Structure 1
Amino acid sequence: MSTVHVSFDQKAYDVKINNTAHTQIGSEILAVWSLRKIALLTDSHVGPLYLTATQQQLEAAGFDVLPLQVPAGEQSKSLTVAGELIAKMAAAGFTRGDGLIALGGGVIGDLGGVVASLYMRGISFIQIATSLTAQVDSSVGGKTAVNLGNTKNIAGTFYQPDLVLVDSTYLDTLTDRDLVEGYGEVVKTSALDSQEFFDFTGTIQSTQDIRAHAQKLSQLAIAYKAKIVMHDEKESGQRQYLNFGHTIGHAIELLAHGNLRHGEAVAIGMIAMTERMAREDVSSDDLTNALKVRLEAVGLPTSSNLIGTPEFFDHLINDKKNRGGVLNLVALKKIGDPVIIQKKLADMPTFIK
C-alpha cells in the first residue's frame, strides 16, 4: 500500500492507494470515524456493482448506512439533485456528527462534496474513488462543484475529505473509453510534473498498459497534485497549473452535450492550447507532438471543430479563470515548467483562430 499525506493549516488526511482497499472498507473508515450514520452516495453505474458490498462492510463495522443512488452522468451534478439528497438525509435524522461517503467517479465525488459541505453547514466526508479520473485527480484537493444550466462547476466549495481510498481493482469494471478518458488527466499531470513522469507516460501504448500500471500512475499523479494543493489550497496561485487543457476543454465538453467525456475534452484542450502557445513562442511544436503521441496512443481525441465557434467564446465568459475580462491560461514552456499567460477575453478570437 502507498499513502500520500495531504496537509493544510486546519485539515490533514491520507490518500490510501491499495488494490485490496475494497475488501477493507469497514476497518479503514472505522480508523478515521467514530460510529455514526453514513449517507453512502453512488450512481446507477457504480451502485449495482459495489453498493451492496460496501454497505455490508460498513454495517458489519457498526455504522448505520443510508444508501443513496442518483442517475449516472453530469445531469446529476445539479443544485436540484443536491437539494433532494439533503432532504433525504434530513428525513433520516442526520446530524452534524454524521458523515457522507462518495462511492464513485468524479461526478459523485463532486456532488457528494457539495452535499457534505452544505448539510448543516458541513459534515464529515470521505471519497472511495472508482474511476481513473477520480483516482488520479478529482478525489484529491477538496474542489467540489455542481453545474448550473450549461455552465460547468459554477456552484461549489473547497471542502477537504477525511480520507480517500484508491483501489485499482475498481477499474476492472470500467469500459475502455471510461478508463482512457481518465488517462487524459494523467498525461496532463505528467507534463506538469517532471521529465521522469512524462517519460513513463511515453511507455503507455494501450488501454492494457493503463490497466497494468494503474496503481503506479495513481501514485505519481496524486503525489504531484498533493504537492501543488498543499501550497495553494484555494487556487490563488500555482494550483491554477492543474487547469492545463481545461479552459478550452470545459467549453467544448459543454458544447458536445455528452458526446465528449471530461478527459477527452481536456486532451483536446491541451493540444489546442499548446499549438497556439507554440505560435507565440511560449511552447514548442516538439512539445505539442510529444503530448499528441501519448494521447493518441490510447485513442484519446486531439482536435475538435467546436473550438472557435461563437458558442465556444460564450462559454469562456463563464470560465472560473475569468478575472474581470482576463483569462489566466496555463501553458507549458517545457515539461515540468508550467506558466500562466494572461489573455483578454476580447483577444481570444485572434488567439484561437
Structure 2
Amino acid sequence: MTTVPVGGEGFAAYDVVVGRGLLGQAGSRIAPFARGRTVIVSDETVAAIHGPALTASLEANGIRTAMATVPAGEASKSFPELERLMDQLLAKGLDRKDVIVALGGGVVGDLAGLAAALYMRGIDFVQVPTTLLAQVDSSVGGKTAIDTPRGKNLVGAFHQPRLVLADIDVLATLPARQLRSGWAEVLKHGLICDPDFFDWLAGEGAAGASGDPAALERAVIRSVEIKSAIVSEDEKEAGRRALLNLGHTFGHAIEAELGFEEAALAHGEAVALGCAMAFRYSASQGLCPPADVARVEGVIAAAGLPTRLDQAGRFDAGALLARMAGDKKAEGGALTLILARRIGDAFVSRNVDSALVTDFLRSEGAA
C-alpha cells in the first residue's frame, strides 16, 4: 500500500492511496469525513460489478449509502446526463454534509466530480477509479468536465476530491482494450519528464500493459507521483500542468472528428496516437532527435496502441486544425502544443504557426 499526497497553494491536501484490496477498506477510509450520507455515482456496468462490495464496506462502517447510475460510455459526459444526475441527487435530498463517491472510469469521475462541484455550490467527493486510465490520470488533480459537440471537456470546474482510492485488484476486470488505453497515459508520464520510468515501461514494466498486477501497481504509483508533483505546483493549469496534455491536443481533435465514438477510438488510443504525432511534429521542426521518435513509436505500437493517423480513420486537415484551435490550451485562437526535445523532456509551445501544423497534418495523411 502506497500513499501519495496531493496538495498545494490554494487547495487542501488529500491522499491518493494505491494498493490491493482497497475496495474492502473504502468504508473505514471514507468514514472520518462522511458526516452524513454517501451517494455512490457509477455507470450501470461498473455498479453491477463493484457496487455491492463498495456498498457493503461503507455500510459496515455505519455510512448510509445510496446509488445513482448513468449509462456506460463517453456519451454520459453530456448536459442531459449531468442534468439527470443532478436531479437524482436532489431527489435523494443531499445536503452539504453529504459525500459523493465516484465509482468508475474517467467518464464517471468527471461527471460525478462536476456534479459535486455544482451541487449546493460544492460538496465533498471521493474518487474510486476502476480503470487504469482513471487511476493514473483523471482521478487525480481535480479536473471535472463534460463534453459538448464542439469539443471534449470544454465545460467543467476544478474541484479536488477528498480522497482517491486506486485499487489494483479491480483492474483485473478490465477488457484488454481498456487496459491498453490506460497504458497510453502511463507512457505519457514517462515521455513528459521521466526517461528512466519510460525505459522501465519499455522493458520489464511492459508486462503491465497485459495486466501483470505487480507491474501495474508500480506503474500506477509512479504515474500518480508524477502527476501529483505537477498538480500540486499548478492546480489550474496556469503553467507546468499543461505538460500533462502531451498528445491530447492532437488526440482530442481526432476524437471530436470521430464524434467521441469509443468503438472507433478510445480516449487512451487517441492519446497514444497524439503522443506519437507530437514527437513527429517536434522532429519535423528540428526539436527532437529522429531516434527518439522511432523509439516512442515502437514502444507505443508494442503496447497494441495506434501510432499513425490512418489507423484511426480518414481526416481533413482543416477540420482537425479547427478542432485544435478550439482546444482549452489555445489562447486567442493561437495554437498551443506540448512538444518534446527528447524522451522525458516535454515543453509547452505557444503561438504555434497553424500553417506548419496544417502541412504536418497533410504529411500525416490528412486530406
Query: Normalising by the residue count of structure 1, what TM-score does the alignment of the two structures yield?
Result: 0.96
Q: Deviations over 1:203-251 (max 9, x none)?
A: 1445436544110000000000000111111101010111110000001
CA distance in 1, matches of 2:36, 2:68: 16
**Residue of structure 2 in register with 1:324 after alignment:** 332
**Residue of structure 1 in register with 2:168 after alignment:** 168
**Residue of structure 2 in register with 1:279 after alignment:** 284
**Residue of structure 2 in register with 1:348 after alignment:** 357
SS in 2 for 1:11: strand
Aligned residue type for 1:3: T
Aligned residue type for 2:23: H
Structure 2 unaligned regions, length at least 5: 363-367
Deviates more, 1:18-27 or 1:116-125: 18-27
Aligned residue type for 1:62: G
CA distance in 2, matches of 1:19, 1:217: 14
- Contact 1:321-1:327 at 8 Å conserved across structures: yes
CA distance in 1, matches of 2:211, 2:296: 17
What is the root-mean-square deviation of aligned Cα atoms in Å?
Answer: 1.5
**Residue of structure 1 in register with 2:365 after alignment:** none
- Contact 1:274-1:284 at 8 Å conserved across structures: no
- Contact 1:329-1:341 at 8 Å conserved across structures: yes
CA distance in 2, matches of 1:18, 1:172: 13
Aligned residue type for 1:226: S
Q: Deviations over 1:307-337 (max 9, x none)?
A: 5533222312321111002111111101222
CA distance in 1, matches of 2:322, 2:279: 21
**Residue of structure 2 in register with 1:120 after alignment:** 120
Of 293, 296, 319 in structure 2, the residue corresponding to residue 311 of structure 1 is: 319
Matches within 5 A, 1:78-89: 78-89=78-89
Q: Deviations over 1:100-148 (max 9, x none)?
A: 0100011111001100000000000100011000011111011111011
SS in 2 for 1:24: helix
- Contact 1:127-1:139 at 8 Å conserved across structures: yes
The Cα of 1:348 is off from its aligned counterpart by: 2.9
CA distance in 2, matches of 1:197, 1:139: 21
CA distance in 1, matches of 2:213, 2:176: 10
Of 259, 275, 285 in structure 2, the residue corresponding to residue 270 of structure 1 is: 275
Deviates more, 1:41-50 or 1:309-318: 309-318
Aligned residue type for 2:197: F
**Residue of structure 2 in register with 1:242 after alignment:** 244
**Residue of structure 1 in register with 2:200 after alignment:** 200
CA distance in 2, matches of 1:177, 1:211: 16
SS in 2 for 1:183: helix
Aligned residue type for 2:155: A
SS in 2 for 1:101: strand
- Contact 1:247-1:316 at 8 Å conserved across structures: yes
Of 345, 352, 361 in structure 2, the residue corresponding to residue 337 of structure 1 is: 345
Q: 1:307 to 1:271 in 2, by over 3 A?
A: farther
SS in 1 for 2:45: coil
Q: Deviations over 1:123-181 (max 9, x none)?
A: 00100011000011111011111011241101000110000000111110001000000
The Cα of 1:351 is off from its aligned counterpart by: 3.9
Aligned residue type for 1:57: S
Matches within 5 A, 1:113-192: 113-192=113-192
Query: Normalising by the residue count of structure 2, what TM-score does the alignment of the two structures yield?
Result: 0.92
